[in-house]
C-alpha cells in the first residue's frame, strides 16, 4: 500500500503505486482535467509516472507558475515537431521556456520567412488536435548518440555526448517525434491547448559562440488561457506605442548611434529631464541624512582584486591598457592596470576607511550618482534600458548589526515615498535568502534576514521568498514596480553585505573598545538613471507629470500681432519657475498644436489678438480636445502650483491626461 500526503494535510491510500493522473482523478475530475504535472516530495514530475513509495504530492495545474512554465516548454517541443514535419532538412538544437514564452533554435540553410512562422503555428495547432500521447524513455548514452546521428541530428548527438557521465539520458516521444529532454512534460499534446502564438525570428549561434554555426531562433508566447494570451498581445501593442526609443526621438530627449554603442547622447530637453530627476532625488537623500560623495572612474586592478570583483566580474569590465600592458602586468605585477569602475562599492569603502570610526559615527549613509561602465553583449543592448555606461543612484549604509532593522526600515520608507511620488503605487518585493555557498556565520545571516523581513512588515510591503538566491555575502530585497499596462520592472535593491567590509579592512571601534567590521547595506532606488527614465517614459507614454516634463509649457501665437504679448507671457511663466518654449513661427496654429503634442508638451498657452487685448490666454492640455480661456494672472498661479515638485505627500502624482 502507498500512502500519499496531500497539501491540505489529508492522506490517500492506494493498493498499488498510482500515477499522478490516477491520483488527480481520485481527488476530482476538475483537478484531473486542469492538471499538467505533479510535485513528489518537492520534485516536479510527469503525471504519467508512478508514485512508488509513500510521498507528499501536490498536483500542478496549468494556471500555476510551474504549470505555465511547463506549458511553454511543451509548446517549444510542439514547435520543433512542427518544424521537422514541414521542413525535413531542419536540425533541432535547444528549445527552453523563457519569460512570457519559449523559443527553439534550428539549423537550416534556407532562412525561415514570416510565412514559414504562420505555417509552423498552424501545424502546432494540428499537433494539439492530434492529442499525441507523450512518453518518457530512458536510453543508453551511446545508443542515443547513434540514433540522433543516424537521422542527421548532429547537434542533439553533441549535446548528449557532452552530458556528465552519471546523467540519466531521457528522451520524450510524441507521435513520430523524439527529442532529448529532462522533462517533465504534459501527458499529451492536447493538454497544451491553443493559447500560443509564434512571434518573431532572430539569429543565434550554436552554444552562444560566434565561431560556431549560425542558427535560426523562433520565438513564441504561450499562456494558460485564450484570455491571458489576448491580454498579453494587447499589452505588447500598447508597449510598442510607448516604446521609449521612439518617444525619445519624438520628444527630442536623446539619441544613440553605433560609434558609441550602448551609450546615450542626451539632448538639451533630455538632459533637463535627467537633471530634474537627479536634483529631486538628491533633495530626498539630503533630507534622509545621506552624505554625497564622488569617486574616481579609473581604479587600479589591485582594488578590484581585493574586493573580489576582478575574479567574478572581469569579463564585464573595461580596462585602460592595451594587450601589451596586460602582458607586461603578467610579467611584472608592479606594472599598473586600471579599470573603469563597474560599480561604486569598493570605492565607498575607501572613503569610509579614511580616519578612525567609532560606533557613535554609525550609521553612515554614503550616496553617489556614480557613472559606471559594464561591457554588455551587443544583442543585450536595448535603448537606454540596457546600456554600457550608466549612472547608479547608489548608496551604501555602514552600520552595526543592531542597526540593520532600523536602517532597512528607513530605506524601505524612503523608496516607497519616491515611487509613490513618481506614480508607481503597485510595488512588490522578493526576499532572496542565504545560498548554499556563502560567507558569514549563520547567526549573522539569521539577523540579516530577520531585519529585511521586519523592514518589509514595518513598511507595509508584502514579499515573496526567493529561496537560496541571496548573494554569497548576504540576503537582499528586490523591489519590482508594475507600470500602467501591467509590466513588471525590477528596480530598487537592498543588500546586506557581510563580506566586503572585512575584505577591504573596514572597521569601527565598538562600545567595548574592540574593533568590529561594520555591516554594509548596498541600496538603490532607481537602479540606474538611464533605465529608470526609460521606464518613466513608457509608464506615462511620454506624458510626464508637469513638474517633471522637460518642456512644461509651449506659448504659441495665432497671429504675428500677438508676438509681443506671447513674449511677455513666456517671460512671466519663466519667472514662476516653469520651463517654457516660445513658438512665434509663421505657421498655422493647428500645425503648432500637432507638433507640440507629438513632443508631449503638457500645456499649450495659445494667444492671439483678442487675448493680447483682454490680457487672457487659451489653455490646451495634452490629450484633451477642449481648451479653456483664463485671465493671465490666474494662469500663472494655476500652472506654478501644478508644477510644484512633490514633497513626499504619500499621494501619487497624476500624469497628463490620456
DSSP, collapsed to helix, strand or coil, labels residue 300 as strand
- Lowest-pLDDT range of 19-33, 69-83, 428-442, 632-646: 428-442
Cα Rg, the chain, nearest whole Å: 30
Are residues 262 and 123 both part of a single domain? no
Residue 544 lies in a domain: no
* Position with higher pLDDT, 460 vs 527: 527
Are residues 50 and 163 both part of a single domain? no
Tell me, what's the pLDDT at 623?
87
Q: What average pLDDT does range 437-454 have in this prediction?
A: 85
List Cβ neighbours of 233 (8 Å cut-off, separation of 6 or more).
197, 221
Cell of 628: 479653456
DSSP output for 443-492: HHHHHHHHHHHHHHHHTT--EEEETT-SBTTB-EEEEEEE-TTS-EEEEE
Percent of the chain with pLDDT over 90: 82
For residue 578, give the CATH number of its domain. 3.40.50.800
345 is catalytic: yes
Containing 13, the helix (H) or strand (E) segment is strand 11-14
Whether pLDDT at 39 is above 90: yes
* 114, 128, 192, 219, 655 from 121: Cα distances, Å: 11, 11, 13, 11, 40
Tell me, what's the pLDDT at 328?
62
Tell me, what's the pLDDT at 657?
34
Tell me, what's the pLDDT at 455?
85
For residue 530, give the CATH number of its domain. 3.30.930.10
Q: What average pLDDT does range 247-255 have in this prediction?
A: 96
For residue 29, give the CATH number of its domain. 3.10.20.30
List Cβ neighbours of 80 (8 Å cut-off, separation of 6 or more).
92, 95, 104, 106, 177, 179
Residue 139 lies in a domain: yes
Residue 113 zone, left/alpha/beta (φ > 0; ψ -120 to 50; rest): beta
655: pLDDT confidence band, cut at 50, 70 and 90?
very low
Tell me, what's the pLDDT at 291?
97
Rounded CA-CA distance 328/601 in Å is 56
Q: Per the annotation, does 345 bind a ligand?
A: yes
Residue 628 lies in a domain: yes
138: pLDDT confidence band, cut at 50, 70 and 90?
very high
373-413: pLDDT as tens digits: 999 888 789 999 999 999 999 999 999 999 999 999 999 99
* 401, 413, 493 from 425: Cα distances, Å: 31, 13, 17
Residue 530 lies in a domain: yes
650: pLDDT confidence band, cut at 50, 70 and 90?
very low
Catalytic residue among 392, 403, 552, 579: 392
Catalytic residue among 39, 396, 438, 523: 396
Q: Residue 155's closest CA among 215, 113, 219, 76?
A: 215
Tell me, what's the pLDDT at 322?
58
Are residues 269 and 304 in contact, defined by beta-carbon separation less than 8 angstroms? Answer: no
Domain C-terminal end among 61, 86, 105: 61
- Residue 481 has φ and ψ, to the nearest 5°, of -100, 145
107-128: pLDDT as tens digits: 999 999 999 999 999 999 999 9
Rounded CA-CA distance 419/652 in Å is 8
Q: Per the annotation, does 412 bind a ligand?
A: no
Catalytic residue among 74, 116, 179, 394: 394
Catalytic residue among 185, 269, 374, 600: 374
- Lowest-pLDDT range of 31-35, 146-150, 484-488, 649-653: 649-653
* Position with higher pLDDT, 254 vs 377: 254
Rounded CA-CA distance 572/514 in Å is 62
399 is catalytic: no
Residue 246 lies in a domain: no
Tell me, what's the pLDDT at 559?
93
Tell me, what's the pLDDT at 461?
84
335: pLDDT confidence band, cut at 50, 70 and 90?
low
Tell me, what's the pLDDT at 448?
86
* End-to-end CA, the chain: 64
Are residues 505 and 464 both part of a single domain? yes
In a 13 Å sphere around the CA of 190, the CA atoms on its Cβ side amount to 7
Are residues 493 and 567 both part of a single domain? no
Are residues 61 and 34 in contact, defined by beta-carbon separation less than 8 angstroms? Answer: yes
For residue 133, give the CATH number of its domain. 3.30.980.10
Question: Hey, how many other C-beta atoms are within 10 angstroms of the C-beta on 270?
Answer: 21
Residue 431 lies in a domain: yes
Tell me, what's the pLDDT at 249?
95
Taking all residues of the chain, what is their mean pLDDT, rounded to a whole number?
92
Long-range contacts of the stretch 402-406 (C-beta < 8 A, 24+):
403/362, 403/363, 403/519, 404/447, 404/448, 404/451, 404/496, 404/519, 404/521, 405/450, 405/451, 405/454, 405/455
Q: What average pLDDT does range 286-315 have in this prediction?
A: 92
Whether pLDDT at 632 is above 90: yes
Question: Could you give the number of structural domains in the chain?
Answer: 4
Catalytic residue among 522, 523, 539, 592: 522
Are residues 89 and 14 both part of a single domain? no
* C-alpha dihedral, 400 to 404 to 405 to 411, nearest 10°: 130
Cell of 516: 568590529
Tell me, what's the pLDDT at 652?
38
392 is catalytic: yes
73 is catalytic: no
Q: Residue 214's closest CA among 93, 115, 119?
A: 93
Are residues 576 and 470 both part of a single domain? no
131 is catalytic: no
Are residues 251 and 596 in contact, defined by beta-carbon separation less than 8 angstroms? Answer: no
Cell of 627: 481648451
The β-bridge relationship of strands 580-583 and 603-607 is: unpaired
Are residues 26 and 78 both part of a single domain? no
Q: Per the annotation, does 522 bind a ligand?
A: yes
Whether pLDDT at 504 is above 50: yes
Whether pLDDT at 653 is above 50: no
Tell me, what's the pLDDT at 647?
73
Cell of 176: 513520430
Catalytic residue among 476, 516, 592, 596: 476
Catalytic residue among 345, 347, 399, 456: 345
Tell me, what's the pLDDT at 80?
97
Domain C-terminal end among 486, 508, 539: 539
Residue 211 lies in a domain: yes
Are residues 161 and 136 both part of a single domain? yes
Are residues 50 and 169 both part of a single domain? no
Residue 610 lies in a domain: yes
- Provide the residue range defining the domain that includes 163: 66-233
Containing 356, the helix (H) or strand (E) segment is none
Rounded CA-CA distance 600/554 in Å is 10
585-609: pLDDT as tens digits: 999 999 999 999 999 999 999 999 9
DSSP, collapsed to helix, strand or coil, labels residue 180 as strand
Are residues 287 and 384 both part of a single domain? yes
Whether pLDDT at 656 is above 60: no
Are residues 145 and 220 both part of a single domain? yes
Are residues 37 and 153 both part of a single domain? no
List Cβ neighbours of 435 (8 Å cut-off, separation of 6 or more).
468, 469, 470, 471, 472
Rounded CA-CA distance 253/273 in Å is 8
Tell me, what's the pLDDT at 457?
87
Containing 602, the helix (H) or strand (E) segment is none
DSSP output for 182-216: -----SBGGGG-S-EEEEEEEEEEGGG-TTS-EEE
Amino acid at each position: 500500500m502507498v500512502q500519499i500526503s496531500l497539501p491540505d494535510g489529508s492522506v490517500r491510500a492506494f493498493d498499488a503505486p498510482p500515477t499522478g493522473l490516477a491520483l488527480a482523478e481520485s481527488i476530482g475530475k476538475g483537478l484531473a482535467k486542469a492538471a499538467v504535472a505533479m510535485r513528489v516530495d518537492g520534485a516536479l514530475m510527469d503525471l504519467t509516472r508512478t508514485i512508488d513509495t509513500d510521498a507528499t504530492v501536490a498536483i500542478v495545474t496549468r494556471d500555476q507558475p510551474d504549470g505555465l512554465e511547463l506549458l511553454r516548454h511543451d509548446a517549444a517541443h510542439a514547435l520543433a515537431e512542427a518544424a521537422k514535419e514541414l521542413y525535413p532538412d531542419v536540425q533541432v538544437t535547444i528549445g527552453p521556456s523563457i519569460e512570457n514564452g519559449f523559443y527553439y533554435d534550428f539549423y537550416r540553410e534556407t532562412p525561415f520567412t514570416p510565412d514559414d512562422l504562420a505555417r509552423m503555428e498552424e501545424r502546432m495547432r494540428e499537433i494539439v488536435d492530434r492529442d499525441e500521447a507523450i512518453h518518457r524513455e530512458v536510453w543508453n548514452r551511446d545508443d542515443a548518440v547513434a540514433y540522433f546521428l543516424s537521422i542527421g541530428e548532429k547537434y542533439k548527438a553533441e549535446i548528449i555526448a557532452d552530458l556528465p557521465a552519471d546523467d540519466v539520458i531521457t528522451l520524450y516521444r510524441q507521435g513520430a517525434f523524439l527529442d532529448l529532454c529532462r522533462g517533465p512534460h504534459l501527458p499529451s499534446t492536447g493538454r497544451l491547448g491553443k493559447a500560443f502564438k509564434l512571434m518573431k525570428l532572430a539569429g543565434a549561434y550554436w552554444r552562444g559562440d560566434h565561431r560556431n554555426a549560425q542558427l535560426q531562433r523562433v520565438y513564441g508566447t504561450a499562456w494558460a488561457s485564450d484570455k491571458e494570451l489576448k491580454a498579453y498581445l494587447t499589452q505588447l501593442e500598447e508597449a510598442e506605442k510607448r516604446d521609449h526609443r521612439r518617444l525619445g526621438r519624438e520628444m527630442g530627449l536623446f539619441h544613440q548611434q553605433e560609434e558609441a554603442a550602448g551609450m546615450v547622447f542626451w539632448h538639451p530637453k533630455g538632459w533637463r529631464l535627467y537633471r530634474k530627476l537627479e536634483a529631486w532625488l538628491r533633495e530626498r537623500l539630503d533630507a534622509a541624512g545621506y552624505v554625497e560623495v564622488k569617486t574616481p572612474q579609473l581604479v587600479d586592478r589591485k582594488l578590484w582584486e581585493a574586493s573580489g570583483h576582478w575574479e567574478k566580474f572581469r569579463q564585464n569590465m573595461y580596462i585602460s591598457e592595451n594587450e601589451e600592458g596586460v602582458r607586461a602586468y603578467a610579467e611584472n605585477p608592479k606594472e599598473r592596470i586600471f579599470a573603469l569602475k563597474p560599480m561604486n562599492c569598493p570605492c565607498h569603502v575607501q572613503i569610509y576607511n579614511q580616519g578612525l570610526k567609532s560606533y557613535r559615527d554609525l550609521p553612515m549613509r554614503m550616496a553617489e550618482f556614480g557613472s559606471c561602465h559594464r561591457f554588455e553583449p551587443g544583442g543585450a543592448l536595448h535603448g537606454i534600458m540596457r546600456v554600457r555606461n550608466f549612472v547608479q543612484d547608489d548608496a551604501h549604509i555602514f552600520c552595526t548589526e543592531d542597526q540593520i532593522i532600523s536602517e532597512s526600515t528607513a530605506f524601505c520608507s524612503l523608496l516607497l515615498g519616491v515611487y509613490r511620488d513618481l506614480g508607481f503605487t503597485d510595488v512588490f518585493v522578493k526576499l532572496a535568502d542565504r545560498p548554499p555557498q556563502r560567507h558569514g556565520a549563520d547567526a549573522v545571516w539569521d539577523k540579516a534576514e530577520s531585519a529585511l523581513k521586519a523592514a518589509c512588515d514595518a513598511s507595509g510591503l508584502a514579499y515573496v521568498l526567493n529561496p537560496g538566491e541571496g548573494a554569497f555575502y548576504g540576503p537582499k530585497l528586490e523591489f519590482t514596480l508594475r507600470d500602467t499596462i501591467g509590466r513588471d520592472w525590477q528596480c530598487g535593491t537592498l543588500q546586506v553585505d557581510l563580506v566586503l567590509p572585512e575584505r577591504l579592512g573596514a572597521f569601527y571601534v565598538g562600545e567595548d573598545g574592540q574593533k568590529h567590521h561594520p555591516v554594509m547595506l548596498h541600496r538603490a532606488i532607481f537602479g540606474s538613471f538611464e533605465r529608470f527614465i526609460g521606464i518613466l517614459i513608457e509608464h506615462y507614454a511620454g506624458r510626464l507629470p508637469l513638474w517633471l516634463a522637460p518642456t512644461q509649457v509651449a506659448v504659441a501665437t495665432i497671429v504675428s500681432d500677438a508676438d509681443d504679448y506671447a513674449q511677455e507671457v513666456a517671460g512671466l511663466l519663466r519667472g514662476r519657475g516653469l520651463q517654457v518654449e516660445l513658438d512665434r513661427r509663421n505657421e498655422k496654429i493647428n500645425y503648432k498644436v500637432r507638433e507640440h503634442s507629438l513632443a508631449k508638451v503638457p500645456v499649450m498657452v495659445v494667444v492671439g489678438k483678442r487675448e493680447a487685448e483682454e490680457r487672457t490666454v487659451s489653455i490646451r492640455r495634452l490629450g484633451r480636445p477642449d481648451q479653456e480661456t483664463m485671465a493671465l494672472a490666474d494662469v500663472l498661479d494655476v500652472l506654478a502650483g501644478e508644477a510644484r515638485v512633490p514633497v513626499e505627500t504619500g499621494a501619487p502624482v497624476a500624469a497628463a491626461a490620456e
